[in-house]
Each structure stands twice: as structure tokens, then as C-alpha cells.
Structure 1
Amino acid sequence: MATGGSGKVMKECMLTGFGGYHKLKVVDAPKPGSPGDGQVLIKVVASGINFAELHARQGMYKSKDGKVTPPCVLGMEASGTVEEVGKGVETLQVGDRVFCINMFELWKEYVVIPANRAFVMPDEMSFEEAASIPVNYLTAYLMLFDFGNLRKNKSVLCHMAAGGVGFAVTQLCKTVENVTVFGTSSEHKHKAIQANGVDHPIDYRTKDYVEEVRKISPNGVDIVLDPLCGADTKKGYDLLKPMGKLIIFGAANGMTGEHKSFTNLASMWWSLPTFKPLSMMTSNKSVAGFHLGYLSGDDESEAMITDAAADLVRMYKEGLIKPHVDSVWPFEKAGDAMKYIADRKNVGKVVLSWEKKDDTEEKKEGGGEKKDEGNEKPGVL
């Protein structure tokens, strides 16, 4: 473990309680001391925001170690520079630019984490891009290539195709020969997701995506990635071809707006289908669940994450993938940035930065840096 405090002060973005966006506050805290054996001290530049943080703020997130309880610091991914390495660390050195992943605690100016959770960035990668890699791209990679066994000539339905995971999924699908991607999003984001590689964009607000998929592919698709849960899980299962795979990795249908909705949660829960082994056997379909936050702790899982991160770095260097950063916000505006995501205004990844000045009012009002693609009203995606 890290040694005691250094006596110096840093900033951290703390969740002071469950509830509204105002519960996130930037406060002073002791800077960590020197890293212990197998650890590194990182000066954080940028961090990504994910639905995990939105759920945690509402009191809806349970980590591997138990429910997230305020006061606490969120943040599952970050990028920055290695300031000090602990004994036994051979993969990193002082000055390395890295991206990292951890079970929260990364919305700080300085963090001490295990060295195997940090990965050297390519020289040409920005800190904002790097902060967009860990959660979204590792999730997409492990779902598609490990669970999904994606191969050439297959088809994938990706919900929330304009989000961080959606952009990652689409780009990774396009690294495999002749993979067809169906992507749902609101219509004003179709141009962006098509430019990213979606073959068939579907406006989920005005059309039945099941009907739209079957118009093009009457037999359905090979892989459905479901971040929605609830009734959409049954629809996804029914859309699978024989030998198809449904992979559930989120519950966006259970979350709305600023505060937790028990009505939404109950509705989602009761609309979930029951999968019976015998009926699944005769339909030749499979169902899987994926949660990156629970895939850690043992050597085999850590090795899987390390290998995937290395492959993602290779793909970036070869120009096969590139994170799409929607907007960058100062940590003081973390609550506003969360609202921006909850209102479905983002196209790609929303990032927080300790170096960003507080000039985000125009983003909040105008839909971010992509004003022609923003301003989407709240809804379920």
C-alpha cells in the first residue's frame, strides 16, 4: 500500500451524497504518499465519464466490493503521467504517459494504483483520447472478441451507437472483414455514426428497430449488444439468428434524469424475460452478461485486460481505432457534464480534465462542441 500522506494538498472530485448533480464537489484532499510495492503514483490530466458514475451518483451502482457509499470519489478511468514507481515495477517508469483503469477513485489530481492497471499511451495519443479508452474500448473489445467471437461476414446490432461504447464497438467491428453494423440513435446523430462505420443507422425514437433490422436482414443478426435491459432484452433475443449471442452490459432503461426513479426500475425489472435452458437449447441461441468492473482481482482476468489493452494500443497506432471525444469539461462542472450525458446530447465520449478552464456554459446550452448534433431531449437510448 502507499505510505502516509505527503503533507501536500491536491484536488479531488467528491460525491458528497446520493441524488442531484450538485452532490459532486471539487474539494481539497491530502496528496498521496509514495507508492508501495507494485504500485505507481500518477498525476492525472483527464478522466472519462461513464454510465457507472451516473448510476453511482443515484445510488444504483454496486461494485465488486459492495455498494458505492458517499462520501467517495468516482472515476473508473483516467490518463496522466507517472510521477513515481514503487518497488518491483518494471513495466513503467517516471515520465511515462499512461491511461489507467481502476474501481473508482480516479477523479483526483494524483492517484496511487497497481502498476498493472496502467498502460503506456502511444506518443500521438492525446490525454483526452487516452481517458476515453479504458472503459469503453475494453468493454467493446472483450464483448465482441471474447464473448461474441466476432468473425468475418457476421452482423451486429449496437444500441446507443453514438455513445462512447457505441463508437468503440463500431470501430472494432470494422477491424473484421465484412461485418455489418446496425446502430440505433436519434436521427440527428446518424451522420456521425455513419461516418464512424455504422452501415444501417436506425432512429429508435420514430421507428421500431426490430422491424428495421428485419427489413434488411430477415433472419436477424449474429450479435446483439444490450446496454438497455428490460423489454429490449427480449427484443434482442428474438432478433438473434441461430448460433447468435445476446450480450447484456447495462441497464440504461432503469435510469432517467437527475434522480433515481423507482417506477422506471420496477418497470424494467418486470419486463425482463426469463431464459430457460431447454428453450435456449432448441433455439440455438446464447445469452451472456458483461461487467468490466467485476472482471478483476485474479491473475487470469488481469492478464485478459492487459492483453486487450495492448491490442487496443496496437490498433490505435495502426489507425484502426480512434476515440471520438465529444467535449472536455473542467472537474468543477462534473455535475453539468453528467446532465449533458443524461440528456443524450453527447456524440462520443465526454471527458473531465484538471487542465480545462471553466468555459462550458455554451456547451451546456448549445449541445457541446458539436452544436449541430446536440440538443437531444431526454429519453431512453
Structure 2
Amino acid sequence: MSLPDTMEAVDYHQAGGPTPLFMVTCPRPEPGADEVLIRVAAAGVNRPDVLQRKGLYPPPEGASPRLGLEVAGEVVAVGAQVQRWQPGDRVCALVNGGGYAQYAVAPASQCLPIPDSLTEEDAAALPEATFTVWHNLWQRARLQPGETLLVHGGASGIGTTAIQMAKALDVRVIVTAGGPEKCRACEALGADAAIDYQAQDYVAEVKRLTEGEGAHVILDMVGDDYIQRNISCAAKEGRIVNIAFLKGSLAKVDFLPVMLKRLTLTGSTLRAQSDEVKASIARELEQRIWPLIALGRIKPLVNHRFPLAQVADAHQLMESNQLIGKIVLTL
């Protein structure tokens, strides 16, 4: 297969709003020994992309400086050490950068097959959310069947994915979301209860819904005053996981309840993890979650699709906080 030497991709002026995003013609990447080259059919848009564009989330050493952390499409070339994947395979992949482009390279170990029931556009919404949710809720927080999970930002891409994954694995799910429409969307995905944080005190509601026990695991991307409030509504031996700090990472916290309840406070970012850690996540996802996706029990919620050239509009929508589910860019 003859491949072009150049491609169209998105570039950006750092520390700017959505308008500095623009299209460029640039050299097509070559896969390394343990990488595959993917002709991108669709790329997911995630909040870390917005933060990177603003200069707040620099790519780790060795990663592509371009935006885009997840893609789906067709493998068109493989490195010398790649055994599993072949040209023509349909895959979705967690990439270390460079997803907003016609071609992207991905470590072979971070690729997953696209289930036959999904289009490439839907599959592009899977990697970032499923990797993040699995690593934080099951690998780090040791979430168990029968436990109660509290998810903040239930209508986000992470939230809608966490609801479905947890319910499919027999977990009770409570979410917070902003407004009745988002709450209804979360309940439609299977959440056992949705708390409108704009109108209700979620600490009091979680205690009421759990008959005073509290949530066993809490997934938080808000931070600030949520840090103390999460401690207040956590169950004994509870685990609180922070994956972002949309309101801020600094807070004055009373740690006495942490000691008395024997709580675990943890957190992580995904992009900075080693290839070995990401490979382990991919293996567990393929074993535990991909069969559920194939059966239709877990479905990516893609509510907005933009052509690649309209990437600025996609980022503007992400920053509006009016989104339910995921955004993908199509090529």
C-alpha cells in the first residue's frame, strides 16, 4: 500500500482560546518498532486536549506535541516487532498525542479491536474514558460488586462511561450532575440515582440514599470544596479517587475523618503513565469490558460529531460544560 508522505493535522498556538486551532500540512509519522500506523477515521476530544491547548497540560517527554489522545481507524503499517496487528485491522487506540490528524502512531499494546457492532466514530470515544475509568475504579480503588460508587460529573464522557461499566459489573451507582436534563440522561444510562448539585446538597443526599453508610468509592474530577465533602459522605474503608481538579487542587481539609473512617485518598493522570501500565489496562479491558461492549451492554455516548476542520467548535463546546457524553472529530 502506497502511503502519502504528508498529511493534514491540527496545530495550535499555545495558551490561547479555541480560535488559535488551525489546519496544517505536515509530514506523516512513521511507526516505531513496537508501534502501528493508523489511518484515522475519527478522534475523540477530551478535556486534557483543552488544557494542553491552554498551556496547562504539557505532553510528557517523547510524546507528540500535537493534540489528540484517542483515535479509531484502520491499521496501514506496523513496526518490525509488532505481531498481533496487521494492515487492514480495525482498531481504536490510546495514543500519546497526535490524534487530531489523518494518520497517527500508537503503541501496539494500547490498541484494541473495534467490535463489529461499532462504527469507527463510536469506537473513537472509547479508549480515553475506558482506560481512565478502569485504572482508577478497578485497579486503584478496587471497586467490588455490590458496593456503592459515587461519580461526580456523571454526564461527562468519563461519567457516562463509568455509569455503564459499573452497572455492567454489578455496582450501585449514584452520580452528581448539573441540572435535570443531565440527571435524566445519567438515569437513562443506568444510574441508580442522580443528584442535581445545583439544587441539592449531594452529601446529604448520598447519606440518605445509602441509609447513612456513605459511598464506598468516589470518583471526583472537581476538587476544591468537594475534597472535604467527599470525605464527609464516604463510607468506612472508603476510597476516594481524584482524576482532575476543575475547581482547583488546593483545599483546607480536616483529616480526622480520614483516620476515623480509615479512608484511602488517591488519584492519577493517564497520559504520564508508562507504556507497561497502559498495556496492562488494555489487557484487562479486553478481557472484562470489551465482551460487554460487543453485547451492547456498554455503549459509547457520542452526542456531537465535528469534521476535523471544525475542531475549534468542538473545543468551544467542551469548554461550555453543556455536553452530555463525548465529542468526536471525523475525517
TM-score range, shorter chain: over 0.9
CA contact (8 A) 1:19 1:58 kept: yes
**2-side partners of 1:187 and 1:73: how far apart?**
37
Distance 1:272 1:92, change over 3 A: farther
- Provide closer, same or farther for how the CA distance between residues 269 and 251 of structure 1 changes in structure 2, counting only shifts above 3 A: closer
Aligned-pair Cα RMSD in Å? 2.1
CA distance, structure 2, for counterparts of residue 275 and residue 12 of structure 1: 47
Change in 2 beyond 3 A, CA 1:36/1:241 = closer
- Return the offset for 1:146: 1.4
* 1:249-282 C-alpha deviation (Å, 9 max, x unpaired): 01111xxxxxxxxxxxxxx344353758xx6343
Is the alpha carbon distance of 1:343 and 1:336 closer, same or farther for their aligned partners in structure 2, counting shifts above 3 Å?
A: same
CA contact under 8 A between 2:134 and 2:285: conserved in structure 1?
A: no
Structure 1 residue 167 displacement after superposition? 0.7
Match of 1:271 in 2: 251
1:285-364 equivalences in 2 (<5 Å): 285-297=263-275, 299=276, 301-311=277-287, 312-354=289-331
Separation (CA, whole Å) in 2 of partners of 1:9 and 1:30: 4
Question: Is it true that 1:8 corresponds to 2:8 in the alignment?
Answer: no
Higher RCO, Cα 8 Å, sep 6+ = 2
* Displacement of 1:141: 1.4
Give the TM-score normalised by the residue count of structure 2. 0.92
Quickly say closer, same or farther: Cα 1:314–1:209, change in 2 above 3 A. Answer: same
Once residues 107 and 91 of structure 1 are traced to their aligned partners in structure 2, the CA distance between those partners, rounded to angstroms, is 25
One-letter code of the match for 1:303?
A: A
Q: What's the secondary structure of 1:292's corresponding residue?
A: coil
Q: Offset at 1:39?
A: 2.1
Report if aligned partners of 1:43, 1:109 keep a CA contact under 8 Å in 2.
yes
Deviations 1:153-205 (A, max 9, x none): 21111111111100111011112335243333321222211110111111111
**1:81 positional shift:** 0.3
Partner of 1:49: 45
Give the CA deviation at 1:234: 1.2
Kept in 1: contact 2:238–2:263 (CA 8 A): yes
Aligned residues: 327
Amino acid in structure 2 at the alignment position of 1:173? A
Instruction: Measure, in 2, the Cα distance between the counterparts of 1:158 and 1:242.
Output: 17
Match of 1:21 in 2: 18
Other structure's SS at 1:305 match: helix
SS class of match (1:293): coil
1:10-41 CA-to-partner distances (Å, cap 9, x unmatched) read 100112222111111111112234x3422221
Q: Is the 8 A contact 1:153 1:180 kept in 2?
A: no
> Residues 128 and 207 from structure 1, CA distance in 2 versus in 1: closer, same or farther, beyond 3 angstroms?
same
Identity %: 27
Q: How is 1:1-381 mapped onto 2 (pairs within 5 angstroms)?
A: 8-33=5-30, 35-65=31-61, 72-177=65-170, 179-217=172-210, 218-253=212-247, 268-273=248-253, 275=255, 280-297=258-275, 299=276, 301-311=277-287, 312-354=289-331
8 Å CA contact retained: 2:155, 2:182? yes
List alignment gaps of at least 5 residues for structure 2.
Answer: none
For the structure 1 residues 19 and 148, does the alpha-carbon distance in structure 2 shift closer, same or farther, using more than 3 Å as the test? same
Q: Is residue 47–residue 107 contact of structure 1 (8 Å, CA) maintained in 2?
A: yes
| Residue deviations 1:345-365 (CA, integer Å, cap 9, x gap) | 2111111111xxxxxxxxxxx
Q: Counterpart of 1:42 in structure 2: which amino acid?
A: I
